[in-house]
Structure 1
Amino acid sequence: MPKSTVKEKSRTGSERYIRFKCSLQNTILDVLRQRPGWQEVTGDSDWDFYWCDVWWMKETFDRAYFDDHVRINHFRNHYELTRKNLIVKNLKRLRRQIERESGKVEAQKCDFFPSTYELPSEYHIFVDEFRRSPGSIWIMKPIAKSQGKGIFLFKRLKDITDWKKGTEYQRLAERDGGPETYVVQRYIEKPYLIGGRKFDIRIYILVTSYNPLKVWLYRSGFARFSNTRFSLESIDDNYIHLTNVAIQKTAPDYDPEKGCKWSTQQLRRYLIAKHGQEAAERLFQQINNVLIFSLQSTQRIMINDKHCFELYGYDILIDSKLKPWLLEINASPSLTASSKEDYDLKFGLLNDVVNILDMDNRLTGREKRVGGFDLLWDDGPIFADETIAADCLNSCAGGTMNSFLGCHNDRIQNLQDIYQAAAVSKK
């Protein structure tokens, strides 16, 4: 069990080190090993910081004792936000609440997820909706899988029947003791295309508390493109319809050097050039709403614990009318890099997660920006400083939220500035 293990290195107590454990062998381990004053421990050794997997949370968290300073990278019931069926249930409940309290117009701000039903429990409700929209395309997703596994498109009820009779479905049902739970969603048939290809946006959000809700938005992310031009003629081709890198990299003509990604900075510049500043800013403000409303939908049921934080990977799709749609939220977004650019992004991202947690006690706690993260919400919206917003490339100035997704990410300079300012204020 973790105990108070922040140890002194010298008799004066002027130097201390932080013991960490990490269950992954990828970028996050590199980040932790390179932090000055941090020391890796293994086995049953005491630790102060643990980047664990979700299974450890399930098996161990409730039985462990933690000192105040200990930090762990998941909330106990994180799945309320990241399970595909549960997030939809929670969003529907939030929408009903907003409609009762503020009316239908305000509740429409929650209309950022497609019509969704859980199978098999809501099969008959789904069938009624399906028959009201003949010819529509639907997408089936297992609730607890990632990287595009088990996903397929269909437009006939017979397709579901045939699929359930298939050997793969039967094998999984036998292994898991019953049929797996799926969600079925109306497919977005008119996505926004660039170069004729579909894409979605991976956005990184850090939540350090649910009560009060405290949310940080990372400036950099990426758009993931399909490898094949979009068409509804072939709904069985995953290279057209699924943008997951795990799917796309298996395409025969996939170029690992080039990949299928744009940075959010590239995407933002493209949208502004194509549609103008106002339309692009309106889109990014709507994305902010998706992020905050989705988190608020679980705020009352999430088990808040001062030891816990969570880095979420949001997947957002834009349609042809520049409307964002929430596709998925990941509690364990991939931290394995697919290229040097991807490694640099994730290394900076993860470093700044640890910087915000501030186990080294170097910050004042009043910062609105730390590295590449901007404080988006702290028991209410955080608004951008006009002087800072004016200096940011294509920023959201003018009294809007402190959101700079896709803006210039001069994180190293920011860290130098805030640490210097914090050192002066502490003297």
Structure 2
Amino acid sequence: MSKINRVPGYMQSKGNRNRGPIGDREIRYKCSMQNTILDVLRARPGWQEVSGDGDWDFYWCDREWLHANYDTMFLQEHQKILHFRNHYELTRKNLMVKNLKRLRKQTEREMGKKEAESFDFFPTTYELPSEYHIFVEEFKKNPGIIWIMKPAAKSQGRGIFLFRKLKDITDWKKGEYQPLTDPNREVPETYVVQRYIEDPYLIGGRKFDIRVYVLVVSYNPLKVWLYRSGFARFSNSRFSLDSIEDAYVHLTNVAVQKTAPDYDPDKGCKWATQQLRQYLTAKHSADAARKVFQGIDNIIIKSLQSVQKIIINDKHCFEMYGYDVLLDANLKPWLIEINASPSLTASGKDDYDLKYGVLNDVLNVLDLENRLTGKEKRVGGFDLIWDDGPVLADDGSMECSVNGTSTTANSFLGCHCERKKQLREIYTAAQALKKTAVS
């Protein structure tokens, strides 16, 4: 997909054309959200909110606005905006799987089956209605297993259901075969159908998935930051395959779980990722926990590489993804979906503190204030895990608090994070380095 050439000055205020680089002046921002990100932006020293068509340096926009305006915008050197133009190549469920399958085939062709096995982290998946007949053939080979249907472009658990029999999707399928000449024909919505993971890893008898925050500041070259903190989202009811119609058993989305009759809003259904890592370490071993989180690292990098040559790279754009990962009974991580707009609305104080820190550190990494050197491997809670290649940790300088030993990869998901102390240290070091360079 090629991008339309931008027309200089179009959709841009006169003020922006004359303002030039940020330098020491205030940073002007726009925000289309009314939740935690707006709190973060308003509390940012030296940042000023603008409204309407006012000129801006930073825009936390929604996807709809970007799709409607990106191709006709002219952005100044210093401007930053949320979302890459065609982020949906990774965040629509059907396109995500399509791109992963393509890179897996390419890897097998060029590097062999052994290397292609590193892509074995997403369930058997088909797009409906386009691959309906292929799916039916696979379905008949494995009678009795459970499949899960998901709308390709919806979130928060909407439209998802489980089934064991083909007749259970009859109502959905009807629209596929209506005559094209029928004026009342309804084209069925695009879905993906996946083999359901019937043996999830359970804690307290409950299913959960892991929300991981990933910041991509460039696709060419690929530059990826991973946030140390996240959370595990638990189902409200104990897991069972006897009632596949019960969303409170099988779907971990907070939007679904909070509607459960016995949901406790004070406790919620979340664990911090640090708590999960400690649990896995205590119950299994530090090595077992390390392998789990290494597997998540692999999922992140492979999925981003699958769209690296497709995403329209733009130095003005960045993306904060919310990855959802499920563990099975063998502690193998599975990619469930990737969100381009992970929820920023907090479900409680701890959740608010987490999201506030994530968003603040997104701004710290982007560094519109020009306070960093650009060589940092950690900024607050974010660790740089890929910079046109794997990033190695400094020897012994960033040890994981769970097992007390350093690793070679600069990845510490679920490890202790003293983000405020770390920020003070890097800003002090960066300031000293810049003064030395000037003198």
TM-score (norm 1): 0.94
1:339 aligns with 2:348: yes
Letter in 1 for 2:233: R
Name the residue aligned to 1:359. 368
- The one-letter code of the counterpart of 2:261 is P
1:293 to 2:299 alignment: no
Q: What is the rounded CA distance, in whole Å, between the counterparts of 1:284 and 1:151 in structure 2? A: 27
Matches within 5 A, 1:96-245: 96-164=105-173, 178-245=187-254
Deviation at 1:393, TM superposition (A): 3.8
Correspondence for 2:412:
404
User: Quick one: which amino acid aligns to residue 48 of structure 2?
Assistant: Q
Match of 2:424 among 412, 416, 423: 416
Structure 2 residue 39 is the aligned partner of structure 1 residue 30: yes
Count of residues paired in the alignment: 415
Q: CA offset at residue 398 of structure 1?
A: 3.5
Call closer, same or farther: CA 1:41–1:176 in 2, change over 3 Å. farther
Tell me, what secondary structure is at the counterpart of 2:260?
A: coil
Q: Is contact 1:85–1:143 with CA below 8 Å preserved after alignment?
A: yes
Q: Deviations over 1:243-265 (max 9, x none)?
A: 00000000000000000000000
Aligned counterparts of 2:28 and 2:101: Cα–Cα separation in 1: 42
- 1:204 match: secondary structure: strand
Letter of the 1:357 counterpart? L
Of 77, 82, 97, which aligns to 1:73?
82
- Residue 395 of structure 1 and its aligned partner are, at CA, apart by 6.0
- CA distance, structure 2, for counterparts of residue 274 and residue 38 of structure 1: 46
Inter-partner Cα distance in structure 1 for 2:345 and 2:204:
27
Q: Which residue of 1 aligns with 2:60?
A: 51
Unaligned runs of 5+ in 2: 1-11, 176-182
Q: Which amino acid aligns with 1:387?
A: G
- Three-state SS of the structure 2 residue aligned to 1:16 is coil
Q: Which residue of 2 aligns with 1:170?
A: none
Distance 1:37 1:7 in 2: 17
Distance (Å, rounded) in 2 between the aligned partners of 1:36 and 1:6: 20
Please say if residues 278 and 402 of structure 2, whose CA atoms lie closer than 8 Å, have aligned partners that are also in contact.
no
For residue 231 of structure 1, give the secondary structure of its aligned residue in structure 2: coil
CA spacing shift, 1:281–1:83, aligned 2, 3 Å: same
Structure 1 residues 395 and 117: CA distance shift in structure 2, 3 A: farther
Stretches of structure 1 that go unaligned for 5 or more consecutive residues are: 167-173
**Cα 1:292–1:318, aligned 2, differ >3 Å: closer, same or farther?**
same
Query: CA, structure 1 residues 225+175, in 2 after alignment: closer, same or farther (shift >3 Å)?
Result: farther
Cα distance per residue 1:211-257 (max 9 Å; x no partner): 00000000000000000000000000000000000000000000000
1:248 to 254, 257, 279: 257
Q: What is residue 276 of structure 1 aligned with on the other side?
A: 285
Residue 392 of structure 1, CA deviation: 3.6
Q: TM-score, normalised by structure 2?
A: 0.92
Q: What is the letter of the counterpart of residue 404 of structure 1?
A: F
Task: Give the conservation status (yes or no) of the 8 Å contact 1:389–1:395.
Answer: no
Specify the SS of the correspondent of 2:169.
helix
Contact 1:396 1:403 in 2 (8 A): no
Task: Give the 3-state SS of the residue equivalent to 1:223 in structure 2.
Answer: strand
Runs of 4+ in structure 1 deviating by more than 6 angstroms, as ranges, are: none
Cα distance in structure 2, aligned partners of 1:52 and 1:388: 37
Alignment partner of 1:266 out of 275, 283, 291: 275
**2-side partners of 1:345 and 1:332: how far apart?**
16
8 A Cα contact 1:213 1:378, kept in partner: yes
